[in-house]
Structure 1
Amino acid sequence: GEMGVGGIQGIDGKQGEKGEQGSKGEKGDLGPAGMMGPSGPKGAAGSKGGRGAPGKKGSRGAKGARGDTTKVLRSAFSAGLSKPFPPPNVPIRFDKILYNDQEDYNPSTGKFNCSVPGAYVFSYHLTVRGRPARVSLVARSRKVAKARETLYGQEIDQASFLTVLKLSAGDQVWLEVARDWNGVYVSAEDDSVFTGFLLYPD
């Protein structure tokens, strides 16, 4: 005979048992950035870095103060003898000028004239021949140093002397020999020289 009319839907059945775990799904998209976390503790100091490149040249500094322009005081001479056996008891005229830029030494008189007060060095180097020599260094018309050279049978010898004197402006200094003791000698091969110079001014 004919199919009957459909019946009423039955009630839901009981929940089935838990199924097996499915396979791992694909990686999802990157989520949004999270909020900034709190600052961490201060780290330990790092090792010293390498030397940096040289900096740029700085600007020119301000002009310095003017330096001391005090004039340097000078006085010096050196002169040789041109004739042997000078006359005694008068200034020996060392007339062969070796140095006399300040012209404090007068070769015509044989006298040094002090123009700069201070301490001076005076020296002589003399050739002595044929007769002995007694030489005096005279300052302010007073014999301040005396020396003699006796040949003791030698034909020729040398005499040298050096001292320091304190002089005032206008003081004069010279050398002289004694009577019968004037064996100071010069020749083409032998010199006799008188020298003086300012050591330091007052």
Structure 2
Amino acid sequence: MLKLYFLEVGALLSLIIPLLVDMETCPATGMPGMPGIPGLPGRDGRDGEKGEKGEPGRGQLAGSLKGQKGNTGPKGSPGKRGQSGEPGKPGLQGEPGLPGEPGETVGLEQQAAFSVARMTSEPPDKGAVILFTKVITDINGDYDTVTGRFRCRVPGTYYFVYHASLERKLCVLMKLDNVIMTTFCDFRQNLRQVTSGGLSVYLSRGQEVWLETKEFVGMTSKPSGYSIFSGFLLHPH
């Protein structure tokens, strides 16, 4: 088909060219020639430059469309540690802690002795610790006049003794950490007298010794007479 097209074009050109030559050599003006055959389509031109970005659309449809939620991506790597913050304000003061264990005793502290008196006009309560509030001697401050107990700081063998003025029946217990070591009882009454008792016992650091009433509390009150509780270290261990 294309070959036939070129043959026809060639035949027309063979007729037109002699006429054109004659027109150039001949001064006379001839009739206008026929229009030529349209040429072949040219090749596509190069792509133009990229245009400027257009303005965002204002349609409601574009903003209302929402795609489906995608799958959760993999966990990222830990980020860098941030800077330390400023120190906070000081907190409230805590409650006092429990008392610590007694410390070791050395040198001149390897001794202990106390002697205290009961200086009250009221007899002791039944089944209660007997309080001796008047301190006569207390080398290391081992006897507590508030609790009525001797607390051992120097381990060793001690001797404890008490003397009580009485007018009625009296029973006194000597206790070591709530264990009854011995009982001293005098069942005379209506007769003023003095009764006493003593005991030697080994104590470890922190153990406590005290006197306690039993059934009868016939201690004589002030000013008829005084009662005294004493103790001292025989040999430290």
- Give 5+ residue unaligned stretches, structure 1: 1-69
Distance in 2 (CA, whole Å) between partners of 1:101 and 1:119 is 16
* Pairing 1:98–2:133 present: no
Distance in 2 (CA, whole Å) between partners of 1:189 and 1:104 is 28
Indicate the structure whose relative CO is greater, using CA pairs within 8 Å and at least 6 residues apart.
1
- Give 5+ residue unaligned stretches, structure 2: 1-105
2:182 is matched with 145
Identity of aligned residues (%): 29
Supply the AA of the counterpart residue of 2:154.
Answer: V
Distance in 2 (CA, whole Å) between partners of 1:163 and 1:88 is 22
The Cα shift of 1:163 comes to: 1.2
Supply the AA of the counterpart residue of 1:198.
Answer: L
Q: 1:152-191 to 2 correspondence within 5 Å?
A: 153-179=189-215, 181-191=216-226
Supply the AA of the counterpart residue of 2:164.
Answer: L
Supply the AA of the counterpart residue of 2:126.
Answer: P
Q: 1:59-98 to 2 correspondence within 5 Å?
A: 71-72=107-108, 73-83=110-120, 84-98=122-136
Supply the AA of the counterpart residue of 2:191.
Answer: E
Q: What are the Cα deviations for residues 17-75 of structure 1, in whole angstroms up to 9, with x where unaligned?
A: xxxxxxxxxxxxxxxxxxxxxxxxxxxxxxxxxxxxxxxxxxxxxxxxxxxxx713111
Instruction: Evaluate the alpha carbon distance shift between residue 189 and residue 88 of structure 1 in structure 2; reply closer, same or farther with a 3 A threshold.
Output: closer
For the residue of structure 1 that corresponds to 2:222, the secondary structure is coil
From 189, 197, 201, the counterpart of 2:232: 197
Pairs aligned (count): 130
Tell me if the contact between 1:128 and 1:149 (Cα under 8 Å) persists in the aligned partners. Answer: no
Distance in 1 (CA, whole Å) between partners of 2:166 and 2:125 is 14
The Cα shift of 1:90 comes to: 2.0
Supply the AA of the counterpart residue of 2:127.
Answer: N
Q: Give the TM-score normalised by the residue count of structure 1.
A: 0.61
Distance in 2 (CA, whole Å) between partners of 1:85 and 1:149 is 16
Distance in 1 (CA, whole Å) between partners of 2:117 and 2:169 is 19
Of the two, which has the highest radius of gyration? 2
Name the structure where helix makes up a greater proportion of residues.
2
Q: Give the TM-score normalised by the residue count of structure 2.
A: 0.52
From 125, 141, 149, the counterpart of 1:111: 149
The Cα shift of 1:189 comes to: 4.6
The two structures, once aligned, show a CA RMSD in angstroms of 1.4
Distance in 1 (CA, whole Å) between partners of 2:171 and 2:197 is 12
Distance in 1 (CA, whole Å) between partners of 2:159 and 2:217 is 24
For the residue of structure 1 that corresponds to 2:206, the secondary structure is coil
The Cα shift of 1:154 comes to: 3.4
